[in-house]
Amino acid sequence: MNTYDYIIVGAGSAGCVLANRLSEDDRTSVLLLEAGGSDRHTFIRMPAAFSLPMNDTRFNWFYSSEPESGLSDRTLACPRGKVLGGSSSINGMVYVRGHPRDFDRWRDSGAEGWSHADVLPYFRKAERALFADDDDPYRGKDGLLTVTRGRRDNPLYDAFLRATEQAGHAQSNDLNGYQQEGFGDLEMTIVNGTRCSTARAYLAPAFQRSNLTVIPHAYVERVAFAGKRATGVHCRRARGSRVDFTARREVLLATGAIGSPQLLLLSGVGPETELSTHQIAPVHLLAGVGQNLMDHLEIYLQQACSIKSVSLNKWLHPVGKAIIGAQWLLTRSGLGSTNHFEVGGFVRSTREVPWPDIQFHFLPAAVAYDGTNPASVGGYQVHVGPMLSPSRGEVRLRSADPSKHPVIRFNYMSHPEDWQVFRSAIRLAREIFAEPAFDKFREAELSPGSSIDSDAKIDAFVRNNAVSAYHPCGTCRMGCSPDAVVDPSCRVYGIENLRVVDASVFPHITNGNLNAPTIMLAEKIADAIKGQQLPAQPEPHYPHPESRRRQRPGSSFTREAK
Ligand SMILES: Cc1cc2nc3c(=O)[nH]c(=O)nc-3n(C[C@H](O)[C@H](O)[C@H](O)COP(=O)(O)OP(=O)(O)OC[C@H]3O[C@@H](n4cnc5c(N)ncnc54)[C@H](O)[C@@H]3O)c2cc1C
């Protein structure tokens, strides 16, 4: 009764994709186990409410980093979805694939079969881009994941894009197509005014299949082995009962960048010292498990807005939110139906950098991502920070008790390059906000504040204020070097019938948000499990421009060039 062909652990971004694709063949039985519960909640469904589920213990694991020495020993929040849909049910819904060269870099570092040409067909397979032309070779029209663009109703969006142009930056009509570099519309995983998580896009259409069993509130504590073959999982259900499940073919871990290394370690797969420290009997020694942890950091550069009716801050009070909520409940439209990250872009910190390493999200409000600290005056802001940081951290066990959160140490800002890129990012953002397009909106800089101008002051601001952009990845790295945990088909080295399929296998972090590449990855591995693969699709992409930016005295680029 408890035996299935495939057992998928974790119903997050990747797990839901796997569950749908593997259960397409009705002769294949699939079990999907998820520690969290239902995603049927208004605050998950309503895009503008995205800061609420991440503040709710029902939907978030509430992990936290260790004190980070590069950030004044602060511990940073590391939210992860604990609900059907996983982090795609609590994320900001920004849809960014990453730069084509991110994936060529994956291939070059040993992830054979993961170049941009290899992954493009799977981005296209996943998506249903409502705005795209039918003959667009970069975009998908028939996938399960709906991708939309905002209506840009607020005049600050256009002011921002005009300002980026005035500052000499390239403009792109598709940041997920031919040209990532530059500024344009950010896309969002929203369908008919509601969040399009993977639970919604992939699980809901498969839910009624008789060969798919979905068990929520099922926490997998260990993988079961016969020698070096994974045979199933040991699971704790709600109210503490324990149950074992057996896999005829494979166990697929899709428990995310924090959960997957923790589960492998608890199961006896990992570095020798780590297993012996916690007296866990080794099944297979793999030095890379839990290593190579990467993330994105960002700060908010906030500007006061002179036209109070324009900034969304005027809605950030209980009555305003109730009005937005009521309109959304009745019509699925209005300010509740967007994530408000409608424009943004990608730039290179210096001309020498081969592809963009800084991302901008523009928001027509001044407020922290998690909904806290709204500015008392109207404002607007960019979230900006380094995207390709060389800093690396680790996930380790705190205890052999599966209920204890692991030790998460990012080592943020531990490389000198991080500081240079962050300074560039902040100065580039200031240049954009200083352009004429913002003249009629601009008042004082709220944060960091115009007095924070020297390198030393900017560094101190970053140290005391940078926050995670919530993109941990890389802790079960894919590749063929000794520190790799999985091979390019996501099979765990040294173990039969066990794969890891989630953001933990990224060899390098990508330049952008991670939901889209995680979904792409799961689509591609689902095909690999079925013994099929879409043909590679080599398409050109925007080249490295020698200097597209205007040479202006005092601009960050001119300073860099000196
Ligand atoms: C607050 C927040 C905002 C974000 N904003 C964006 C954004 O705007 N755009 C974007 O692209 N990305 C964003 N991200 C990142 C993106 O959502 C994640 O990188 C992506 O969803 C990771 O997918 P995954 O499949 O690796 O893991 P997850 O989606 O986290 O899935 C892991 C699943 O496994 C379950 N699980 C873990 N351990 C166990 C266990 N032992 N037993 C059973 N189940 C278990 C978890 O509960 C979870 O459901 C955000 C993330 C967060 C948290």
| Residues in the chain, overall count | 562
Atom 41 of ligand 1: nearest residue by CA position: 220
pLDDT of residue 561: 31
Closest atom of ligand 1 relative to the 61 alpha carbon: 47
Residue 255 near residue 220, CB atoms below 8 Å = yes
Percent of the chain past pLDDT 70, that is, above it, reads 97
Atom 35 of ligand 1: nearest residue by CA position: 10
Cα–Cα dist 53/97, whole Å: 24
Residue 315 near residue 308, CB atoms below 8 Å = no
pLDDT of residue 557: 45
Sites in the chain below the pLDDT cut of 50: 547-548, 550-553, 557-562
pLDDT of residue 400: 98
Tokens linked to 267: 């199961």
Q: Measure 77 CA to ligand 1 centroid, in angstroms.
A: 14
Closest atom of ligand 1 relative to the 96 alpha carbon: 11
Atom 16 of ligand 1: nearest residue by CA position: 515
Identify the residues whose C-beta falls under 6 Å from ligand 1: 9-15, 33-36, 54, 79-82, 86-88, 90-94, 219-220, 254-257, 259, 263, 470-471, 502-503, 513-516, 518
DSSP letter for each residue of 345-367: EEE-SSTTSSS--EEEEEESS--
Residue 96 near residue 176, CB atoms below 8 Å = yes
Atom 48 of ligand 1: nearest residue by CA position: 86
pLDDT of residue 546: 58
pLDDT (tens digit per residue) in 164-206: 999 999 999 999 999 999 999 999 999 999 999 999 999 999 9
Cα–Cα dist 140/536, whole Å: 15
Closest atom of ligand 1 relative to the 93 alpha carbon: 8
Q: Measure 199 CA to ligand 1 centroid, in angstroms.
A: 12
Closest atom of ligand 1 relative to the 502 alpha carbon: 26
pLDDT (tens digit per residue) in 377-396: 899 999 999 999 999 999 99
State the burial class of residue 159 (Cβ atoms within 10 Å of its Cβ: 0-12, 13-18, 19+). buried
Interior angle at CA 322, CA 316 and CA 325, nearest 5: 100
